[in-house]
Structure 1
Amino acid sequence: MSHRRIALGAAGVAGVVAVMEAVSRTGLVDGTALPPASTVLAEAAKLAADREFLVDVGATLAAWSGGLVLAVLVAVPLGVLLGSVPFLGTAARALVELLRPIPSVALIPLVILLVAEPARMKMSLIFYACLWPILINTLYALRDVDPVAKDSLRGFGFGTPSVLWHVSLPSAAPFIATGVRIAASVALVVVISTELYAGGVNGLGIYLSETQSAGGRTDLLLAGAVWCGVIGLLVATGLRKLERIAFRWHASQIEGLS
């Protein structure tokens, strides 16, 4: 099944590349506005050996990983606390629902005023954006833990901390990991968007912006965008594989049910 999915995904990518190539080569659109796919891919290949571009990639990934790790360290314990103590969860629900829909990009002007250093500014916005999917997944995962399993452990004399450690957290862990994977993709969008709008010294968003300020090189813009997509694909695939390895028992249960 996995080989079939890979083949279908590759076929889809090849189809899009072929359409872009044909549209540009036949003159249906201006070649300067939409360069041929072969030109874009050639420029993307050159970027893999471009030292300055790799520095930009490193800066983006450093901010991305820092903000994501910080969000995990805060959101998971906070979600466990709110999910384990009902009155705290109820009291915080309105605040969570109020703050969660606010786009992190909309906070860029405020964060610029509060945090002048570009790397910290990016990490702050990433932290805010990633906090909510991890927190919400943690909360709902803890609420959906089998009550029979918890009551059975309590029946043997185990207290709340033991029930949380031996039943609730193992049951919720796969769903928390899914929240982290969703947050990782959101973080990439946020960090590149922040670099585009707020500027800075290094980053993928800075590179994309510079391609337009230096003569409007659409081919370089699209080549950089290709690498943004490749990085997002690698992150999502890597985290999904880690989930399957760490929670193989959970994956097998889902496959058995399906």
Structure 2
Amino acid sequence: MKKKPSLRRRRVQDAVLPVVGIAALAVTLEVVSTSGVVDSRFLPSFSQTVAASVQLLFDPVFLVDLGTTVATFVLGLLLACVVGIGVGVLVGLSETAYRAMRPVVELVRPVPPVALIPLAILVLGVDLEMKVAVALFAAVWPVLFNTMYGVHGVDPLSRDMALSFGRSNADIIRTVVIPAAGPQIWTGVRMSTTISLLVIITLELIAGSNSGIGAFIAEARSASETHAVYAALVVSGFLGLAINQLMMLLERVLFRWSLTEERG
């Protein structure tokens, strides 16, 4: 019978293994580029890309684009959370609404957000409103889906007990339903963060946006500045990683009790 690794050993592995993976990728890219297997004009070495990425962090023009992308991402995600959680709670609390909305959500959710770009550009142009609208459409479904299922799965006995103590419906939602469904709702929010960021950068890249990381990549590509393209992609990757780590940290803080139960 195999022994489970100790908690300390698991923490060491969790810290070391990602570094090993990144180091292996870096060495592979460096060898492929410098050995001539791939033309360095199309695949700069890893060291050159890292150096260019660091330089971008001190480039005022890129920092403005980075700030634009982050601001658009935050706005789109907040709207997705407000709409998704609000509608999801209302639908999840009603058995009739749940049965009626479930097939609608399942039907509309797989529609690719990119397919809406031509219509969104026609109606809203290529400014902030268009990016936020498409990002909202893309990001709202995981939040709505998980909220619906999470609220619908709350034990009705806990709600009836709270009601028997004279709690109002608003109090029951705030003190019973939301905390019980919270971990599943947060899973939807975490999924939406990645989707929202990817959609926004894609929109900036292909929809002719005037600012943002995607717009910077498009301009660098047009100018054949390969190093700048890869550097911006690296910064985008680390931005996504930082956001994901922040969401995981918030999850450990907000739902520590749930994580403890899962480990137990």
- Fold conserved (TM > 0.5)? yes
Unpaired stretches in structure 1, ≥5 consecutive residues: none
RMSD value, Cα: 1.5
1:229 matches 2:229: no
Alignment of 1:45-84 (within 5 A): 45-84=54-93
Paired with 1:27 and 1:35, the residues of 2 have a C-alpha distance of 11
Describe the SS at the equivalent of 1:27: coil
The number of residue pairs the alignment matches comes to: 255
The aligned residue for residue 143 of structure 1 is 152
Paired with 1:164 and 1:73, the residues of 2 have a C-alpha distance of 15
Query: Counterpart of 1:228 in structure 2: which amino acid?
Result: S
| Residue-by-residue CA offset, 1:136-194 (whole Å, 9 max, x unaligned) | 01011112223443344445555654443332211101211121111011101000000
The aligned residue for residue 88 of structure 1 is 97
1:119 matches 2:128: yes
TM-score (norm 2): 0.92
Paired with 1:143 and 1:92, the residues of 2 have a C-alpha distance of 12
Contact kept? 2:159, 2:172, Cα under 8 Å = yes
Identity of aligned residues (%): 38
1:205 matches 2:214: yes
Compare 16-25 and 26-35 and name the one that shifted more: 26-35
Compare 92-101 and 125-134 and name the one that shifted more: 92-101
Query: Counterpart of 2:52 in structure 1: which amino acid?
Result: E
* Structure 1 residues 34 and 117: alpha-carbon distance in aligned structure 2, compared to 1, 3 A threshold: closer
The aligned residue for residue 9 of structure 1 is 18
Paired with 1:67 and 1:234, the residues of 2 have a C-alpha distance of 18
The aligned residue for residue 107 of structure 2 is 98
1:251 matches 2:259: yes
Paired with 1:112 and 1:2, the residues of 2 have a C-alpha distance of 47
Paired with 2:233 and 2:166, the residues of 1 have a C-alpha distance of 57
Compare 148-157 and 124-133 and name the one that shifted more: 148-157
TM-score (norm 1): 0.94
Question: Which ranges of 4 or more aligned residues in structure 1 deviate by more than 6 Å?
Answer: none
Paired with 2:50 and 2:61, the residues of 1 have a C-alpha distance of 18
Contact kept? 2:203, 2:209, Cα under 8 Å = no
Describe the SS at the equivalent of 2:182: helix
Unpaired stretches in structure 2, ≥5 consecutive residues: 1-9
